[in-house]
Each structure stands twice: as structure tokens, then as C-alpha cells.
Chain A
Amino acid sequence: MPLGASRLAFLAKTAAAAGGRTASTIGVFGDAQVDTARSVFGGASLLLDGTGDYLTADPGNTGDFIFAGGDPFTFEFWFNYDNDTGSASANLLSNKDTGSNDVTNFFILFRNFDTKLQVYCTSSFSIAAATGAITADTWNHVALVRNSSNNLGFFLNGSRQQYNSSITGAVGKTGEEKIGIGALTAGDIPFNQGGNGWIDEVRVSSVARYDPTLTSLTVPTSSFANDDDTLLLLHMDGSDTSTTFEDDTA
């Protein structure tokens, strides 16, 4: 039997898995698509129109997105919005599905009402207006970082906005391991309601990529490369209007 493209892709994934990792499965919903009009790196980003568009990352390895107390992590990405036309909150990155909050949830929300970010990471780190106002049509680097001493920092464009020295709770739990990008994992509160929004270069890591005890970090100036500590890596690159997104960790 000749090896077709799908068979070759399967073999490539299998080989990657044999090396220790299987990439997350990326779910694409609504009109979520690659857009070459705006990007931080790679000439393209994820475009979301706020009406049902979002991605989900379903981990290829059980426990990828579960962090017990004392486990370090870094969630980071860039986002951009074109105007402020509504008043709702919109999810940028979260592990919440729907319904009531779980103590293992984390959220990074954009609030159209006052154009600020809102962050929640376990019930002990909940800040409604976690940043100053964010200007439209600009790229913003966001990082939520915990180290192995349970110091947790929330950074915007290199400046620490919030900090707690004792966030000991687990983040993520078995059976609810998806991450929603641009909406909650079940599609609620999509980004950017009332206008377009873009997200680029999403990375989840099993280490503290930055020191949360410091008041600033150096914002990366090039796209991320996969390494042993990378759990999810979405470059959001491709041809304009493409709906194919791949996790670059395998």
C-alpha cells in the first residue's frame, strides 16, 4: 500500500510519541482562522471574531496541563484587539469549561468594559482588574508564572502586575484537562466580542520561564522553540484563512 500523506503524518506523530511526547489535539471552532494581517512572529496569528470562534488544546499526554502545588508552570501568549465595542469579559486562556468555578481553574480574561485584564488562578489568586487599561491595535505579551516555591506572578508586557508568594493550590485536574484559547473550553465568553481579536504564540511550560519574584521580565523577541519543558506551543502560523492549527511540541 503506498504511503499517503495521512499515513505519513500518522507515522510522524507515532515517532514523536515514541520520543516521549504526543502533541495536543487542537480543536477549531466557529470561524477561527489564520490571519496574515497581524502577527508577532511568523507572519500570521489566530483571528477570532467574537462570535463562537475559539481553539481548544486537548493534551496528548495525560496530566500535561495538571500542576500540583509546588509544580512550576508558565502560561503565556500575545493578544491584540481592534476596538472596544462591548462590555463583556472574554477569555484569552483558561482551563475552565462551563458552570461554577473549580479551585483548580485558571483564567486570563480581557474585559471590554474597562479594557483591562482579569486573572484567576486557584481561589487564592483572583484579581478583577489586574492591569491598567490596554490600548487597541497593539500586541501585548501576557505571562502567568509560578515557580517551585509557589511564588506566582502575572506579567503584562514585561511588567509584573500582580504577585502572591504562596499559591499552593493545584491547577488543572484529571478529566478536565483541556485549555481554551479565545473562549472557555465549552465556548463561553469568546474573544473579542463586538470586534476582532488576535492571539499569537501560545506556550504552556512545565517550568517557570521567568522569575515571578521579580518585578519585570524580558519580553521574548523571537518565536519560541520547542524543548523538553514545553507542553503546548501554538505558533498560529500558516496561509491566510487557513483553519489548521498544530501544536509544535511533538
Chain B
Amino acid sequence: MILRIEQNGETHNIDVGDVSAMSPDEKTNALHTAMTDAGLEPTNFYIILGEA
């Protein structure tokens, strides 16, 4: 799954992989790992705009 993430006024497509069988906490971790890998900072404010 690719999510559109808005951070600092810019939109980024973030590939979080297949999260269909993940628990909510696993989804959160997958998203934050993917954001970090993409150079984003998950501890700063962001909005999940939806799927790309």
C-alpha cells in the first residue's frame, strides 16, 4: 500500500508494504519505518491523506 503523507506542506508517497494482515500497532510501526526510510520524520506532525 502506498500512502500519501503530508508533512511540512509537501505531499509524499510512502510505500508501507502489505499491511492487510497487520494489527493497528504493526501498521503504525510500518508507516513510521517507511517514513524514516524516505527521509521523513514521524515524530513531526504529518497527515495521512489517503492511498496513492
Q: Give A residues with C-beta under 8 Å from B.
A: 86-89, 99-101, 109, 111-116, 120, 123, 126, 128-129, 132-133, 189, 193
Contact = CB atoms under 8 A, between A and B. Distances in A.
| SS class, residues of chain A in contact with chain B | loop
A99 B42 CA distance: 19
| SS class, residues of chain B in contact with chain A | mixed
Given A99-B9, A100-B8, A88 B28 contact: no
Given A114-B24, A114-B27, A88 B45 contact: no
B26 to A, nearest CB: 9
A113 B45 contact: no
A100 B23 CA distance: 31
A111 B28 CA distance: 10
A128 B44 CA distance: 8
A126 B45 contact: yes
B4 to A, nearest CB: 8
A189 B49 contact: yes
A89 B45 contact: no
Nearest to B49: A88
A109 B47 contact: yes
23 contacts: A86-B51, A87-B3, A87-B48, A87-B50, A87-B51, A88-B50, A89-B47, A89-B48, A89-B49, A100-B9, A111-B48, A112-B48, A113-B3, A113-B27, A113-B31, A114-B25, A114-B31, A126-B44, A128-B43, A128-B45, A129-B28, A133-B25, A193-B50
